Amino acid sequence: MSELMQKYIDDAEKALLHTYNRYQLVLDKGEGVYLYDLDGNKYLDFVSGIAVFALGYHYKDYDDALKAQIDKLLHTSNYYYNVPAVEAAMKIKEVSGMDRVFFTNSGAEAVEGAIKAARKYAFLKDGKTDHEIIAMNHSFHGRTFGALSVTGNPHYREVFEPMIGNIKFADLNDFDSVLACVNDKTCAIIMETVQGEGGIFPATEEFLTKVRQLCDEKDILLILDEIQCGMGRTGYMFAWQKYGIKPDIMTTAKALGCGVPVGAFLLNKKVGANSLVAGDHGTTYGGNPLACAAISKVLDLFKQDNIIENVNEVAPYLEKRLDELKDKYDFIVDRRGAGFMQGLVLDRPVSDVINKALSKGLILINAGTQIIRFVPPLIITKENVDDMIAILDSCLGTV
């Protein structure tokens, strides 16, 4: 490591709040599916900023759109209309089939807004404020108080309690556990369509269908968190579209802006007409022209450049190559996931494997202590998969 890179690491440890145990690496630039550190070392990126850089780095049409918007207008506040926000809203309505959009600055903020919309919807029905929300164990929805309150990992919540309250936890893909939590106060059920941080667990079609039917019967709102699994990552624009169901409220972020910090929550027509009104919710930066220019261009490029088609072409090959590793090493106990959101489950911690891969020019992350997570840019090729497998295989062989 050069003195320059070490200096930046040392300065970071003196200035930044230590809430992350960072890898000893200062990233400097990216190109395509590769990242480069300050010393010029090249890394094949199978993390994409934690499922953010769907288009990889320096995708020309995307860069050009942002540069053009910077030359026009960065911010207006939501007291005024701006063209990129209107265009982005219309385009995301089209691809999602939802009715109303609220742009946020992050995924956690999108979850906060979704919770508020659900509670306001229930309040307008009966005038009460004691409604309950059912969330899933092992879920992850964010670090703000509302999002943390519905995150199904007690370790994340304990030192910050009390949470917002009236939250119950069921088990993903266990419909009986959901039924056991339902009562007359239940106003919403929230889940990730594919659990990410909790271990790469997709919801099953049977489970989602039963939960959707339950919500319809009892006028409970179904909130689907598509922050990590959405935006084409599973081979559909949104993961729930595979199952023939539709949420009442949906959250999205990460690849929505492909690097520009932005999120959104979307409401169907019923909830959009019977929940949040002027004064109920707001944001200074949310929906500003730069962020929405990014969203608008990302949605254009997904269609123009057949991004989801590439996922559906290359993802089966990724699964095949990961399954080969599973068959080769008896300490790999499972491979699961959907599309370009995959996990290899080991019978031991994966930190050593990830660190060895990094030293050989491959960027990976975990999802829990024993799962290697693969969330690459959606533009990767089969050749990129082969390169990744070769490096990972060499690391697993020394475990």
Backbone angles phi, psi at 54, to 5 degrees: -60, -35
Q: Which of 304, 334, 350 is the last residue of a domain?
A: 304
What local confidence, expressed as pLDDT, does residue 399 receive? 78
Q: For residue 254, what is the DSSP state?
A: G
Examine the domain organization and report whether 298 and 286 are in the same domain: yes
Residue 249 domain boundaries? 73-304
Which CATH number covers residue 257? 3.40.640.10
* Structural domain count of the chain: 2
Question: How many Å apart are CA 167 and CA 385, to the nearest integer?
Answer: 41
Residues 6 or more apart in contact with residue 7 via CB below 8 angstroms: none
User: Residues 203, 207, 213, 216: what is their CA dihedral angle, to the nearest 10 degrees?
Assistant: -40
What is the C-alpha end-to-end distance of the chain, expressed in Å? 25
- 63 located within any domain: no
Looking at residue 32, its pLDDT comes to 98
- Same domain, yes or no: 298 and 321: no
DSSP code of residue 81: -
67 occurs within a structural domain: no
> Is the domain of 290 the same as that of 344?
no
**How many of the other CB atoms lie within 10 Å of CB of 345?**
19
What per-residue confidence (pLDDT) applies to 228?
98
Residues forming a β-bridge with 202: 194
Same domain, 28 and 99: no
Cβ–Cβ under 8 Å, residues 96 and 237: yes
Q: Work out the angle at residue 280's Cα, subtended by the Cα atoms of residues 279 and 283, and round it to the nearest 5 degrees.
A: 80
The reported pLDDT for the residue numbered 298 is: 98
Kindly report the CATH number assigned to the domain that includes residue 323. 3.90.1150.10
Low-confidence ranges of the chain (pLDDT < 50): none
Residues 77 and 11 in one domain: no
Single out the residue of 35, 43, 56, 61 nearest to residue 381, CA to CA.
56
**How many CB atoms are closer than 10 A to CB 328?**
11
Kindly list the strands in the beta sheet with 132-136, ordered across the sheet, starting from the edge strand earlier in the chain. Answer: 100-104, 263-267, 249-252, 221-225, 186-192, 132-136, 167-170
